Amino acid sequence: MKAIFSNFICLLMVFGLVSSLLAQGPITGFMPGKKGTDFALTYSHEQYDEYFFGRESQAIDYQVQSVNLFIEHGIMDSLSVVINLPYLYADELNKGFQDGSAWIKYRNGQNRYSSGILTQMIAAGAGFPLSRYPVMTDNPIGIRNTILHGRYLGQFQFNNGIFVHLQAGLDFYISPNNQTALPAMARTGWGSATFYFDLWLEYYHTFDSGVDRQIQGGQGSSWLRTGGVLYYALSKDFGLFAGGAYILSGRNIGQSTRVNAGLVYKWNRGK
């Protein structure tokens, strides 16, 4: 069952879009195992008609589509590397590979109890632009951020398939602006051998933020976002999923609605 859960949770981390990816990040509470590799390919559509310049809202129509490739490979049972590669399309001018990321994830604790398993993990990564996409336009897909990430997470997996996940850390923006942000997330869900669902709530706060003068202005975003995902396993190695997310409130960010769908494949060379 743990291998199936690994597939499920990996899905949650591939939903990246513009600066939203920087908060949630591609770090899950499960490991693929030594020589195991998880692949997830996601299509997303996000749109908003209101953007918060600071806390002041303004009517702006914006839509973007994205395709994201997520890969996690197990070096050891307790150590893995994670790669995230997003491609975004807003219009013919504003498109391209956006800001990718690479991580190292380590499981530093796992305790078994009569009711389930408590897992603790740490992760460190870097985010960086994958192309020189335009930034000084009316509808940019990003601002070519370079970031250092740090995360600590705890997850309790009950024997009946329910799990609770808490995650927090720090993001250090190096370029184009020097800023520090606090990401935090809570997630709960349930899974069986063929079906999985979850709900999550994410908080992201950039310290000492300014006021954007254009969308994706880079003055530091903050938001409260909620979402969920449904997954169906077609086999033990392959499955399909659909999900969505909504920005409840924020600063220097669009109040967006996102829908996504995709597939996941788990390849285990250790079989």
State pLDDT tens for residues 115-125. 999 999 999 99
Q: Show the domain range for 72.
A: 2-265
| Range with lowest mean pLDDT among 63-67, 74-78, 92-96, 194-198 | 194-198
Q: For residues 187 and 196, is the Cβ–Cβ distance under 8 A?
A: no
pLDDT of residue 187: 92
For residue 227, give both structure tokens: 């979402």
Domain presence at residue 270: no
Q: Mean per-residue pLDDT for 210-216? A: 89
For residue 41, give both structure tokens: 């390919």
pLDDT mean across residues, the chain: 88
pLDDT of residue 11: 39
Domain presence at residue 244: yes
pTM of the model: 0.88
Domain presence at residue 84: yes
Q: Mean per-residue pLDDT for 72-88? A: 96
For residue 128, give both structure tokens: 């960086």
For residue 254, give both structure tokens: 């669009």
For the chain, percent of residues with pLDDT exceeding 90: 77
Domain presence at residue 232: yes
Q: Is the pLDDT of residue 221 over 50?
A: yes
State pLDDT tens for residues 152-184. 999 999 999 899 999 999 999 999 989 999 999
Q: Mean per-residue pLDDT for 132-146? A: 94
Domain presence at residue 45: yes
Sign of CA dihedral 263, 22, 228, 244: negative
Domain presence at residue 115: yes
Q: How many domains does the chain have?
A: 1
E-assigned strand segments in the chain: 36-53, 56-76, 79-89, 95-97, 99-112, 116-129, 146-158, 162-175, 179-191, 195-206, 222-233, 238-251, 253-254, 257-268
Q: Is the pLDDT of residue 21 over 50?
A: no
Domain presence at residue 271: no
Q: Mean per-residue pLDDT for 232-242? A: 91
pLDDT of residue 192: 84
Q: Is the pLDDT of residue 260 over 90?
A: yes
Residue 234 binned pLDDT confidence (cut-offs 50, 70, 90): very high
State pLDDT tens for residues 24-58. 567 888 888 999 999 999 999 999 999 999 999 99
pLDDT of residue 36: 93
What are the backbone angles phi and psi of residue 153, rounded to the nearest 5°?
A: -140, 150
Domain presence at residue 139: yes
Distance in angstroms (rounded) separating the CA atoms of residues 97 and 157:
36
Q: How many CB atoms lie within 10 A of CB 159?
A: 11
Find the CATH number of the domain harbouring 212: 2.40.160.40
